[in-house]
Amino acid sequence: MVGGADIWVAGHLPEGAPRDAITLHNDLVCHLGASEVDTAFASAQEEWGIIVLAGTGSFVHGRTPDGRDLHFGGRGPILDDYGSAYAVGLLGLRAAFASHWTEARRTSLAEAIPRALDVASLDGVFDRVYIKGITRRKIAALAKTVDAEARAGDRISIDCLHRAADELAELAVDLINELGLADRSFPAIRIGGVARHSRIWWDRVCHHLSKVAPGVRPVIPPVLPAVGAALLALRQIGVAWTADVIARTRETASRHASDGF
């Protein structure tokens, strides 16, 4: 083993107990620092291109063949998590409460969102939001409900997904132009629950990207970023990313984590 380590830990470790434990046992454990961006690229077995991440939060990141990086977003729902699951869930909540205003605003979300939050009506949703205090993750989880209603044909739900996708796609287009990638062929790697699982959301993003960069290649990584971190550690100790290695890591990961939305 490189450095004599028996265990490799790859990824970003914050200050505190986890890092202290590795430092204490550095004769047995080797830490390979890897950012969320690094593990995302590794999960797709790509070295450069753009990452479009939309989970609870969101960001876009670009990397050129010569190693230039540019990053937009990712600093929370108040500042700039454009197009994220939180953004989709919040749009869905607002649409549900506007459903009774006019016939044009009528949406199945008025019934679906209370069901998703396990309450009887929108009054119960109001209570969850303002009295009991709904969490960021609970709002983000409503993106799954919005997507389900959109797939069932609800026009307002489709619009919620499109509006969220438009916001993040706009950042991605700016990123492509700033890095001079518009005339190149490059991967657009989809990361996070919304990006990976909402076809309506992702198709809308790709529509915008392809208009400015016809050579863009939409990519869904065969493994999750957590497995990408493991792949980085394997490469560090000299294990090549062969098709067999990817298949084995994917099979092993599937027994321990789900790729849910």
The full DSSP string for 115-180 is: HHTT-SSHHHHHIIIIITT--HHHHHHHHHHHHHHHHTT-HHHHHHHHHHHHHHHHHHHHHHHHHT
Q: Of 17-26, 150-159, 176-185, 225-234, where does mean pLDDT reach its minimum?
A: 17-26
What is the rounded (10 degree) CA torsion for 220, 196, 261, 198? -140
CB within 8 A of 188, min separation 6: which ones?
49, 50, 51, 52, 172, 205, 206, 209, 216, 217, 218, 219
Instruction: Evaluate whether 112 touches 141 at the Cβ level (below 8 Å).
Output: no
Check: CATH 3.30.420.40 for 47-218? yes
User: For the chain, what is the largest distance between any 2 Cα atoms, rounded to a whole number of angstroms?
Assistant: 68
Instruction: Evaluate whether 163 touches 91 at the Cβ level (below 8 Å).
Output: yes
CA–CA dist 154, 144 (Å, integer): 14
**Cα 27 to Cα 31, 201, 202, 229, 232, distances in angstroms:** 11, 46, 45, 21, 20
The whole-number average pLDDT for the span 72-85 is: 93
pLDDT at 90 over 60: yes
pLDDT mean across residues, the chain: 90
Bigger pLDDT: 170 or 8? 170
Task: Report the pLDDT value the prediction gives residue 49, as an integer from 0 to 100.
Answer: 98
CA–CA dist 58, 116 (Å, integer): 23
Task: Report the pLDDT value the prediction gives residue 2, as an integer from 0 to 100.
Answer: 46
Q: Of 26-35, 120-129, 188-197, where does mean pLDDT reach its minimum?
A: 26-35
Which residues does residue 189 pair with via DSSP β-bridges, in sequence order?
Answer: 51, 219
CA–CA dist 223, 40 (Å, integer): 9
Q: Which ranges of the chain does DSSP label H, i.e. alpha helix?
A: 17-24, 36-43, 85-98, 109-116, 122-126, 136-151, 155-179, 193-197, 199-212, 225-236, 243-254
Q: Edge-to-edge strand order for the sheet containing 216-219? A: 69-73, 58-63, 49-54, 186-191, 216-219
Report domain extents, the chain: 47-218
Compute how many other C-beta atoms are within 10 angstroms of the C-beta atom of residue 66. Answer: 6
**For the chain, what's the residue count?**
261
Task: Report the pLDDT value the prediction gives residue 34, as an integer from 0 to 100.
Answer: 75
Task: Report the pLDDT value the prediction gives residue 13, as an integer from 0 to 100.
Answer: 59
Q: What is the pTM of this model?
A: 0.87
Per-residue pLDDT band for 19 (boundaries 50, 70, 90) equals low
- Give pLDDT tens digits for 108-119: 999 999 999 999
Instruction: Evaluate whether 176 touches 200 at the Cβ level (below 8 Å).
Output: no
Residue with tokens 């991605």: 172
